Structure 1
Amino acid sequence: MKSLVANPLARKALAPEARSTRPRIRALTVTAVVCSLALAGCSGTTKNSVKNDDKPAESGQKANPDAPLKKGLKLAFLPKQINNPYEQIVDNAGIAAAKGFGSSGKEVGPSDAKASSQVSYINTLTQQRQNAILIAANDPNAVCGPLKQAMKQNIKVVAYDSDTAKDCRQIFINQASSEQIGRTQIQHIAEQLHYKGQIAILSATQNATNQNTWISYMKDELKKPAYKNMKLVKVAYGDDDDQKSFQETQGLLKAYPKLKGIISPTTVGIAAAARYISASSYKGKVVVNGLGTPNQMRKYVKDGTVAQFALWDPKKLGKLASYAAAALASGQITGAEGEKFKAGDLGDYTVGKDGEVILGPPTVFDRANIDRFNF
């Protein structure tokens, strides 16, 4: 919150004691009365604002599915990192979609993926009165305070790629079912390893909501009898930083000489792991799988370092997020379960439990199909 600035009467009343007189005391009393009457003159809150402090400005609104999509909306994309190649694809697609339906979009964000690095950007976007903030959260809770402040000012909040806590946004655009993503990561690498051997996970940050959700399903999948001869030895964190992910890959292979596979459910991590292994004696001996973009991974698929990996179309993710934000800002939806909206040529979508909207199942990329994709 900004510092409160007292009115001129209050500043006059707070002059040095050496100048205090009985009339000045009376003046202070008068000032206090004026402040009580004006309420906002000497305080940042009123009785009503305290009562409604925890309620978003749009509380009680009802969806109007027939409302037209508003023109001239201002949408701001706040990725985990401004220089993350994957999130640049998502955000650029969302910005292009906004332009297509008569609004504008922009991308702002930090150069690191620390838990609190997005907070100052949220505050600035709120001050700028954006119609919607679209965020890929580095931490589910660190961003909640400022996002709630934004919602109180009727700024819509859409999480995409990585969710916030559920009460800190109206909608979460999920790439695919979190359970499906997590379990298939294990299923794919298990088939490659013939269900035997040690594996490790190279994640992004320790607090990334999407990563932790997927990893929880991976661990649960590994409890099944089919994987009794497989063992997860370590979850390492590359912080979605290319060099750190490269070094973490090196560290995993040195610490676990019997390691047979690495799952990296982050585009930065899988590319860094593949780069390290492609130029090492581990090529052809250690399986790398996870989530990546075709353009990042094409050379590693073609040189035999990586046999397969998966991902959804990030352009579609950005486009869907943009349309969801516009639908919220136009009053077509509020984020309640069962509401429907149209996302351009992507078709119709339904809001699920806890405001979740699922893009669709991921695609598995390999040597046979990778050249059909360009992102």
Structure 2
Amino acid sequence: MFTNGVRLFLLVTTVAVLAACGGAPAAAPTSAPAAPTAAAEAPTAEAPAAAGANYVLVPKNLGNPYFDTANNGAQEAAKELGVTVTYQGPATADATQQIQLLNSLIAQKVNGLAISADDADALVPVGKEAIDSGIPVVTWDSAIAPGGRQVHINQAVSADIAAVQIQMASDLAGGEGQIAILSATSTAPNQNEWIDLMKTELAKPEYAKLELVDTVYGDDDDTKSYSEAQGLFKKYPDLKVIIAPTTVGIAASARAVQDGNLIGKVFVTGLGTPNQMREYVKSGAAPQFALWNPGDLGYLAIYTLDAIHTGKIKGNPGDTFTAGKLGDYTIDPDGVVLLGKPTIFNKDNIDSFDF
């Protein structure tokens, strides 16, 4: 998929945690949610003036620590490349808002778009319009369907992401019992793919004693995700694990477990960042979770976009380019560049990471 020099995150040994009894869930939060990092740009901001190229990093929504970390990596790449990267996105994870923003950016004639899609299919027409207008389109984190983008930067193989989450859930549940999924939006392409693959993973004989009782959606909103987690506690008194494949949902779910005095009875796992999850790992609310480095994802997205814009590559399968500190990459036959494998974080290694 790619050649030497790629910075891979390796899976580390997971921690098995035995379930014990706890109290009833609280009716409302007793601790305030972590304040989101301030967005770098408003969705209606004008394209910046710069000597080099002007690229725009478009997340699913602003105020999300995961995307803010990706922007940090994008800004690092911009500095190395001598270009300007503006960070603009919708206020909420909404495809209609994202399309409106992209139409505005196309009209501004920016030099490239790096997009985490709110809806794979709905964004195809606007992505195609950008490409037809001579604006390269790279997606990252969550892809626009082929036809609406040139290259997708995949954080990891989707099957690996699904497998590691089921593995962690099984470890935390002691190999048996009820589990539930708390996802982002119901239209998020990456979330839906991971959920489908998790269901496939659960069909394996080693997970025969795990029961997926529900899938709910927090819309990548902290308050709604917290409420959905509480709803799962009440609806399924024997629930052992919530899998939240979203950085907003996993933190909200872990906080709900902690606030509800359910540590040791219900465990949370999924995808999160070390800085947001450190407290919950150490408290036992979320003993282990996984992720790639979102900063590297944003960094790689901008290097890929720049390689297309400057003519170093056309964005075709087989094209090879160098992405700064991450090394060399090759676009695979599906038009995808793979960042690497996810890492499992737990109490033994979480303090070694800062993002």
TM range (shorter): 0.7 to 0.9
* Higher-Rg member (1/2): 1
1:276 alignment partner, one of 238, 243, 256: 256
Match of 1:265 in 2: 245
Whether the 8 Å contact between 1:198 and 1:261 is mirrored in structure 2 is yes
Report the aligned-residue RMSD.
1.0
1:244 alignment partner, one of 214, 220, 224: 224
Match of 1:297 in 2: 277
How far apart, CA to CA, are the structure 2 residues paired with 1:311 and 1:269?
A: 14
Match of 1:137 in 2: 117
Match of 2:39 in 1: none
Match of 2:96 in 1: 116
Write the letter of the residue equivalent to 1:243: T
The residue matched to 1:118 in structure 2 has which SS? Answer: helix
Q: What is the CA-CA distance between 1:95 and the residue it aligns to?
A: 2.3
Per-residue Cα deviation, 1:73-100 (whole angstroms, up to 9, x for no partner): 1110111111111101102311231122
Q: What is the CA-CA distance between 1:116 and the residue it aligns to?
A: 1.5
Whether the 8 Å contact between 1:202 and 1:245 is mirrored in structure 2 is yes
Q: What is the CA-CA distance between 1:238 and the residue it aligns to?
A: 0.3
1:318 aligns with 2:331: no
How far apart, CA to CA, are the structure 2 residues paired with 1:226 and 1:370?
A: 28
Task: Work out the percentage of aligned pairs sharing the same amino acid.
Answer: 49
Write the letter of the residue equivalent to 1:104: T
How far apart, CA to CA, are the structure 2 residues paired with 1:301 and 1:94?
A: 28
Relative to structure 2, which stretch is displaced further, 277-286 or 156-165? 277-286
Q: What is the CA-CA distance between 1:287 and the residue it aligns to?
A: 1.5
1:125 aligns with 2:125: no
Match of 2:337 in 1: 357
Match of 2:163 in 1: 183
Matching of residues 194-205 of structure 1 within 5 Å: 194-205=174-185
How far apart, CA to CA, are the structure 1 residues paired with 2:332 and 2:236?
A: 42
Q: What is the CA-CA distance between 1:306 and the residue it aligns to?
A: 1.5
Higher fraction of helix: 1
Write the letter of the residue equivalent to 1:280: G
Whether the 8 Å contact between 1:138 and 1:207 is mirrored in structure 2 is yes
Whether the 8 Å contact between 2:257 and 2:267 is mirrored in structure 1 is no
Whether the 8 Å contact between 1:116 and 1:139 is mirrored in structure 2 is no
How far apart, CA to CA, are the structure 2 residues paired with 1:209 and 1:110?
A: 17
How far apart, CA to CA, are the structure 2 residues paired with 1:259 and 1:304?
A: 16
The residue matched to 1:327 in structure 2 has which SS? Answer: helix
Query: Which stretches of structure 1, 4 residues or longer, exceed 3 Å deviation after superposition?
Result: none
Write the letter of the residue equivalent to 1:145: P
Whether the 8 Å contact between 1:336 and 1:354 is mirrored in structure 2 is no
Match of 2:186 in 1: 206
Per-residue Cα deviation, 1:29-60 (whole angstroms, up to 9, x for no partner): xxxxxxxxxxxxxxxxxxxxxxxxxxxxxxxx
Matching of residues 322-361 of structure 1 within 5 Å: 322-361=302-341
Match of 2:36 in 1: none
5+ long unaligned stretches in structure 2: 1-50
